[in-house]
Amino acid sequence: MRDQEPLLVDLSDRPAVINPARAKPARDWPPITVSREMIDAQIERLAELPRPANGRRQVMFVHPSAPTPGCGLTPGVQVTLDVLKPGEETIPIRHNSTQVNFCIRGAGTAVVGERRIGFGQYDVWNHPSYVTYRHMNEGKDLQARLTYSNAALLEMMRVHMVEEDPSDTVANVEDDKESAGIDVIERLPTFSIGDDGASLMPYETLINPPSVASATLHWPWLTVKENLDKLDALGESYAGRRLYLLFNPKTEGFNGTTPNFFATITIRPPGITDKPHRHVSSSINYYFRGSGYSRVEGKRYDWKAGDLMVSAPGWAVHNHASDAGDPVYELTIQDQPLNIYMESLLWQEDLSLPVKLLGVNEGFDTNRNAL
């Protein structure tokens, strides 16, 4: 086959940017809802299948606008529903994507590397990259999990690497060197070439960056809820959102649960309506108690407990409101850390105030101290 040649696109005399004030992102990637009824039907369908060879009963929720490869629910986040019947176990697997797991039904055990996590309904835990893991269901009920991953982004980059039942494990490199009697290579110094901080790094240092441990972490729902419910006392005059980030210290400075995205859990007291706002990061909400609606680019979308929703395409003006009755609890996945690292996280907390570049500019404040 003849080598392909690149396409040439002349950008001369074209507008260099899309004016952020006029962008309408929801036209290209509109909000969609995976209803509770659809999720429940898929849980039952997966449970009726013969046991797969790898033990994974799994379905992926894909946005109609998603490319292939990619197949995300948002452009960078892939979401699957995973089901295990009582007594079942998946075979080990590892990949260079990271994950956040959220149990929506039943209970079980996740073995991630050397860590063993017993989890229950609404517990959250993360999977670091390229660490072998498996799931077990020792209970009497079906186990159902929502799994959020940056696999969609890696697949668009054509670099998502997956190994079924790997025969080896990734151990600590320094321990490997010491056990093999290999001298640890000393990093050559990086040196400045000016007064503004511009520096030169040798190749030997480039290919041997300092290693930073990536731990498997567990956020039990009962502990999270105990702290979350205290935010109800902030009252109706509170100007912020009542939530906690499930924070991974590895993402210090980038505010993540994984390096790619964060998971927050929110409580919305009955009858609360947020102010409209927007941000470059996109949002996926799973509502597991209560009901309400979101308004995105002027259109209303109703939701209820058990619904999974792409509630905010990147840079879409949106806000959320809870109905009267039960408080709302929701898990939100948002690719904020990746955008902070890329210096691309434009955020407008109040549409009457200027846009800020979070992570570079000073961020926003609430009235919590005054309360």
pLDDT in tens, the chain (371 residues): 678 888 888 888 877 666 666 667 677 899 999 999 999 999 999 999 999 999 999 999 999 999 999 999 999 999 999 999 999 999 999 999 999 999 999 999 999 999 999 999 999 999 999 999 999 999 999 999 999 999 999 999 999 999 999 987 554 444 454 544 445 667 789 999 999 999 999 998 999 888 888 999 999 999 999 999 999 888 888 888 999 999 999 999 999 999 999 999 999 999 999 999 999 999 999 999 999 999 999 999 999 999 999 999 999 999 999 999 999 999 999 999 999 999 999 999 999 999 999 999 998 888 888 77
Q: What is the pLDDT of residues 254-299, one digit of tens each?
A: 999 999 999 999 999 999 999 999 999 999 999 999 999 999 999 9
CA–CA dist 259, 292 (Å, integer): 30
Starting at the edge strand that comes first in sequence, how are the strands of the sheet with 243-245 ordered? 33-34, 308-312, 283-289, 328-334, 262-268, 243-245
Which residue in 27, 25, 60 sits closest to 281, CA to CA? 25
Q: What's phi and psi for 206, nearest 5 deg?
A: -55, -45
pLDDT of residue 169: 56
For residue 137, count other CB atoms closer than 10 A to its CB: 22
CA–CA dist 292, 281 (Å, integer): 22
Q: Is residue 297 within 8 Å of residue 312, measured between CB atoms?
A: no
pLDDT of residue 172: 43
pLDDT of residue 167: 86
Which residue in 278, 271, 269, 277 sits closest to 329, CA to CA? 269
Q: In order of start, what are the domains of the chain with their CATH numbers?
A: 29-165+217-357 (2.60.120.10)
Report the run of H or E that residue 206 belongs to, with start and end: helix 203-206
Contacts of 105 (CB under 8 A, 6+ apart): 43, 121, 141, 142, 143, 144
Helices (H), 29-114: 36-48
Which residue in 329, 318, 345 sits closest to 255, CA to CA? 345
CA–CA dist 327, 267 (Å, integer): 7
Reduce the DSSP state of residue 280 to 3 states and report it: coil
pLDDT of residue 322: 96
> What type of residue sits at position 364?
F
Which residue in 265, 278, 281 sits closest to 336, CA to CA? 281
Q: 313-345 burial, b if ≥16 CB within 10 A, otherwise e?
A: bbbbbbbbebbeeebbbbbbbbbbbbbbbeeeb
Q: Is residue 93 within 8 Å of residue 134, measured between CB atoms?
A: yes
Q: Is residue 27 within 8 Å of residue 299, measured between CB atoms?
A: no
Label residue 54 exposed, middle or buried (CB < 10 Å: 0-12, 13-18, 19+).
middle
Residue 159, beta-bridge partner list: none
